[in-house]
Amino acid sequence: MQALTIVPILAVLILVHELGHFLAARLFGIRVLEFGIGLPPRLFGMRRGGVLYSINAIPLGGFVRVVGEDSHTLGPDSLQTKPRWQRAVFFGAGAFMNLLLAFVIMMTLVGFRGEPQFHLYVAEVVPDSPAARAGWQPADRIVALDGKPVRDASELVERTERAAGRPLHVTLLRGDERIDTTVVPRENPPPGQGRTGIRVVIEPAARLTVATVQPGSPADLAGLRPGDRLVRVAGYPAEDAAVYFLLIQQHAGKAIEITVERDRQLLTVTIHVPPSTSGETPNLGMTLRPTLVTAPVPLWRIPLEAARQTAIMVIQMVQGLAMLLRGEASLSDLAGPIGMGQLTSELLAISPEPAWVTLGHLAALLSINLAILNLIPFPALDGGRLFFVLIEAIRGRRISPEKEGLIHLIGFAILLTLMFIIAFADIGRLLSGESLLR
């Protein structure tokens, strides 16, 4: 049933997209014949101000029908007789509204949810490396470089690169102990080791709650129960999933103390961690449910942070599309409405966020996806129509409306065929039990 959540999400995204075209048409005096929600056949409609507002049977689309899109009507209120820049704005207005919607969604999420706090950990230290000589250990949290906070792995790499060959003061957090160290990043490190000789992991801050306990497992024998909240692991605050797994791996084959909160009381148990096999994290026989911890964002920063996150999603979407065109990504990764429903269900099942946050992120991502895909210069898409306007501007005269209409008709047929192929692939994925999050 969670998969059906995608239906109202897609309906809103498409409605907003078509609203962009509708508002642009009204702004430039282009007569709107019909504003349709869903795709034909029509169920019912209502006429207001000369516009037919219709509800259609297939709830996965929408359209705005204007005078002149058939290439034959050339009156003053026709799309065909409007200046190039007005036609370009009309064709691009839907994508603009989807980008604006994504920004508004991100502002809402940032404003009400806050922003996650990320922790950067040392996951592995290469023997005889600068980090090893400085005394770094797995599960150490990297807090600051030269007294300045470090937020993510890319910032760590960049600042370490700049410090090659000179002492770099690094502040670590080991359990509750704050440790100041000095490391000298290598100018010519061995291949695959990096300048300091460490591997890092980054993880958002989260409260960890025991979700399930397997009977007869080490966790069960130690007395852990579903609903217990982890407070400390081997003396370290249990502030995210990364430190838990790093410490479990570090104590493979040994006993470890875990403090949990149960019924508002603290309880410390000793668990005998199984030996590690093939370098994998030992299995204690319990699953954890993380609940992300966020920090409030000042009002003045909310639009800036929302714009930053929206821009990141746009860049990632463009990069993903470029990889697909270059053959670096599989066509099996494409998904239609059915696949999006499957994705929604899977995300809701594994996300540590509240459902409204997960669905908000998904809606913003799909809104950006809809905007970018519609701007691809392919016939029948908004980008294809914008491309014809660009050709007209370069040539100084228009391509025959009849020829352009025929090209868009062929493009529309190709798009419909592609939609059916993707739908069959989505159904096949569902029947085989294959996940979209593999």
Instruction: Name the token pair of 171.
Output: 């502040």
Asked if residue 184 lies in contact with residue 176, where contact means CB atoms within 8 angstroms, the answer is no
And the tokens for 144?
């600051």
To which H or E segment does residue 247 belong? helix 241-250
What are the DSSP calls for 49-63, one per residue? TTEEEEEEEEEEEEE
**Global model pTM greater than 0.85:** no
How far is Cα 13 from Cα 15, in angstroms, rounded to an integer? 5
pLDDT of residue 71: 63
In sequence order, the 6+-apart residues with CB closer than 8 A to the CB of 132 are 125, 126, 197
Mapped onto helix, strand or coil, the DSSP state of residue 371 is: helix
Two tokens at 242? 């990364």
In the chain the domains, ranked by start, together with CATH numbers, are: 83-114+299-437 (no CATH), 117-200 (2.30.42.10), 206-295 (2.30.42.10)
For 342-368, what is each residue's pLDDT tens digit?
Answer: 888 888 888 888 889 999 999 999 999
Q: What is the pLDDT of residue 434?
A: 84
Residue 303: per-residue pLDDT? 96
Q: How far apart are CA 75 and CA 73, in angstroms?
A: 6
Q: In one letter, which amino acid is 104?
A: V
- Sites in the chain below the pLDDT cut of 50: none
Looking at residue 438, its pLDDT comes to: 63
**How far apart are alpha carbons 414 and 39 in whole angstroms?**
17
Tell me what pLDDT residue 323 has. Answer: 82
107 Ramachandran zone, left/alpha/beta (phi>0; psi -120 to 50): alpha
Neighbour-count burial of 273, counting CB atoms closer than 10 A to its CB (0-12 exposed, 13-18 middle, 19+ buried): buried
Q: What is the pLDDT of residue 70?
A: 67
Q: What is the pLDDT at residue 246?
A: 95
Distance CA 236, CA 248 (A): 11
Tokens in use for 307? Answer: 């714009």
Pairing mode of beta strands 255-262, 118-125:
unpaired
| Residue 72: predicted pLDDT | 67
Report the distance separating Cα 140 and Cα 419, nearest Å.
49
Tally of residues, the chain? 438
Residues marked as catalytic: 18
DSSP 190: P
240: CB partners within 8 A, 6+ apart: 119, 203, 204, 205, 206, 208, 290
Give the containing element (helix H, strand E) for 395: helix 382-395
pLDDT for the residue 332: 67
